[in-house]
Amino acid sequence: MVASSNQLIRPTDQQWQAIVANDRQADDQFWYGVTSTLIFCRPSCASRLPKREHIRIFADPNAALAAGFRPCKRCRPTAELVSNQTWVLEIDQVLQHHYAEKLDLNELAKQVHGSESYLRHVYQQLTGQTPQQKLTQIRLERAQLLLATTNSTIASIGRQVGWANPAYFIKIFRQQIGLTPRQYRQQFLSV
């Protein structure tokens, strides 16, 4: 039996802001249902932002279920909250699989269902690196492998690891590795 959605609690400004920002820090503090879809989510869910008038607030997932809402498949609001350690592993998985794509912090945050600032904070706290530094490291390792083991052009390798601009690829490679990509490749060609 679905409770009349008008009787349910509407979001405060603060709750609304947390939903707008996909604020992971608000997770486990409240859950929100959307009356137009009858689906409920965690505040951090990166699904399309519903209209504010369609949002109803719940103190726990069971209350949302009791009111006739179904859990979102994307943020799985009835699952246990993932620990930060698990979350970092999840972030690494996304970086390892999608390093070749345009992957800025905003896109990453969407994929792992968190806010940008919280993502950067937690990731750096647990790994000592920012997600961007980790992404650069993955790309450089991949580029080194391709330089050493293929005949692809420098520009093509740059593109394959996610740097479409060859000048930028060469610059960052040289900064981090201390050699240009061409010089790096030379080491494997000699003898």
Nearer to Zn ion, 34 or 135 (CB): 34
User: Pseudo-torsion of CA 171, 173, 177, 182, nearest 10°?
Assistant: -90
Q: Is 76 left (phi over 0), alpha (psi -120 to 50) or beta?
A: left
Q: Which residues contact 56 (CB under 8 A, 6 or more apart)?
A: 5, 8, 9, 10, 11, 32, 33, 34, 35, 67
Which of 57-65, 67-75, 125-133, 158-166 is the region at the interface with Zn ion (rule: CB under 5 A)? 67-75
| 64: contact with Zn ion by CB under 5 A | no
Nearer to Zn ion, 38 or 170 (CB): 38
Cβ 78 to Zn ion, closest distance in Å?
Answer: 11
Which of 144, 145, 156, 149 minimizes the C-alpha distance to 180?
144
Residue 72 falls in the annotated catalytic set? no
Strands 70-71 and 55-58: unpaired
Which of 16-24, 33-41, 123-131, 164-172 is the region at the interface with Zn ion (rule: CB under 5 A)? 33-41
How many chain residues bind Zn ion (CB under 5 A)?
6
Cβ 47 to Zn ion, closest distance in Å?
Answer: 5
Nearer to Zn ion, 19 or 135 (CB): 19
How far is 89 from 55, CA to CA, in rounded Å?
31
DSSP annotation of 190 reads -
Interaction pattern, residues 73-102, with Zn ion; x per rule: CB under 5 A = -xx---------------------------
**In the structure encoding, which two tokens stand for residue 16, read together?**
């609304």
- The residues that are catalytic are 41
What are the residues binding Zn ion (CB under 5 A)?
A: 41, 45, 47, 72, 74-75
